[in-house]
Amino acid sequence: MTTIHVRVLARSLVLFLALTLSGPASAAKLQGPQEATVGDLPVQFVEEPYFIDPMKRATAWPAVAIPPDGEELLLPGRGGAGPWRLYEGTFDEESCRSPRLSADGSVLLSICRGLDPSRPGDEHVVLLQENRLHRYANPVAPLDVKGGATVDLSQDGNRFAVAIEEGGGRSIHIINLELRTDTRISGGWRNPGNPVLSPDVGAIAFTAEVAGRPAVVAVSIEDQKAWTAWHGGRRSRLAVFGVGAGGKRVMLTANRTAVDQLFLVDVARNVYHDLSGDAGNVSSATLHESTEAAVFTASVGGACGVYWVDLQGRKAKDFVGSVDVCYENASLEGTRRYVMYEEVARGERFVQIYDRKKKKVKEQMPPTCHDATFSGDGQVMAARCQHNTWGWGIYLFVNPEE
């Protein structure tokens, strides 16, 4: 085939994708379940007391937030109509990233740098809970090319999981803020990162090395059992985007070919489902707490889209798409109505909140904000904002009612 023919076919593919993505949503049937290779792993839990490391606020916060219309917001300690700065300038918030919110937005955390004068390069989890501001004393493991160490907060706000460096390697810790315990999880793996908690906090999944190869590990905290949900090749790129109750289902991306595809592994049945199919390279995803729905972003042949997956109906469809911009950081709230994603074009990012019921963008955050996330109930949003008149840092927004 000549070079001219290849170029014509490529342009035809891009044009076809552009028409498909910019027009009405097109649904594709998901493939049937395929056999997975799930293996048992040894696991150990070491529990120690958790001592809160409090931080003194720069200014006192009011006890209740009352907007001008007199209706009380679900944001204790925040006055006015927002947006609100997460830590109110208590320390330099410019480096803060990865905000996480509990289901009702009452517990909030992020990862921030520069809180230890003796080790200014270290990052720590900073938590705001019940009007109490404190940090996790152990520094967070640094990021790596695979997505590295992240932090995850439970829906009830009582626990968070984080990867830290200790003993010459990495380990996953789960902190129970209610019982004041710090539990280290270790076992038949090395260099864990990217921890994701299940909605019922009964399980956790993360990336790691198993037998010298990249893998995704699922751990049932209640049953104290662990499995390899996915075992890749030596050059595999893996990332975890969701885990179901008990660790029985794990959503992850893996590159069996050149692109990162989205898979849902059913650990209990030893099968996996290909969720992205021919959508191309998956850049982000969120699994609904029911594990029966998901949203993801992907790109192929110069076209980009945001996709909805219905696992009960075994269908995947795009509802936003373009050949001029791409999409990242898709998230979903509990009612499944609102989807948040970042529109990326020419080096700029715009956070969009899409209303699936009305099939249109409901709201857009200020263009200086990114790295956004929802609370579980969809009423509160958080994002990292820069280059604005408010000052750099994590900011909170309310998702306004219709």
pLDDT of residue 160: 96
Contact predicate 192/206, CB 8 Å: yes
Query: Are the beta carbons of 276 and 307 closer than 8 angstroms?
Result: yes
- Find the mean pLDDT for residues 279-301: 93
What is the DSSP pairing of strand 27-29 with strand 123-129? unpaired
Q: Say what the pLDDT of residue 318 is.
A: 92
Least confident of 57-71, 220-234, 239-253, 358-372: 57-71
**CA separation for the pair 82, 75 (Å, rounded):** 10
Main-chain phi, psi angles of 20, to 5 degrees: -65, -45
Residue 157 to residue 396: CA distance in whole angstroms: 16
The reported pLDDT for the residue numbered 377 is 87
Output the CA–CA distances (angstroms, integers) from residue 245 to 44, 176, 197, 293, in the order listed: 20, 18, 9, 14
Confidence of residue 225 (pLDDT cuts 50, 70, 90): very high
Q: Which two tokens stand for residue 90?
A: 């208590």
Residue 382 contacts residue 363 (beta carbons within 8 Å): no
Phi, psi (rounded to 5 degrees) for 5: -65, -40
Q: Is residue 180 pLDDT above 70, yes or no?
A: yes
pLDDT of residue 231: 93
Q: Whole-angstrom Cα distance, residue 343 to residue 330?
A: 10
Q: Helix or strand or coil: residue 120?
A: coil
pLDDT on residue 63:
43
CB 65 within 8 A of CB 77: yes
Q: Is the pLDDT of residue 116 over 90?
A: no
Residue 210's closest CA among 39, 44, 45, 34?
39
The answer to whether residue 1 scores a pLDDT higher than 50 is no
Which strand ranges, in their side-by-side order, compose the sheet holding 151-153?
43-49, 181-187, 169-176, 159-166, 151-153
Q: Is residue 184 within 8 Å of 172, Cβ to Cβ?
A: yes
User: For the residues 261-284, what does the mean pLDDT come to?
Assistant: 93
Per-residue pLDDT averaged across 48-61, rounded?
Answer: 80
- Among the ranges given (52-61, 176-185, 233-242), the one the predictor scored with the smallest mean pLDDT: 52-61
Mean pLDDT throughout 370-394? 87
- Distance, in Å, from the CA atom of 279 to the CA atom of 301, rounded to the nearest integer, reads 10
What is the DSSP track for 41-76?
A: E-EEEEEEE---EE---SS---SS---TTSPPPS-T
Q: Which of 313, 252, 305 minimizes the C-alpha distance to 279?
A: 305
Distance CA 291, CA 273 (A): 12
Residue 24's pLDDT is 42
H or E, element range at 341: strand 338-345
Give the H/E segment covering residue 17: helix 3-22
Domains and CATH numbers, the chain: 38-56+74-398 (2.120.10.30)
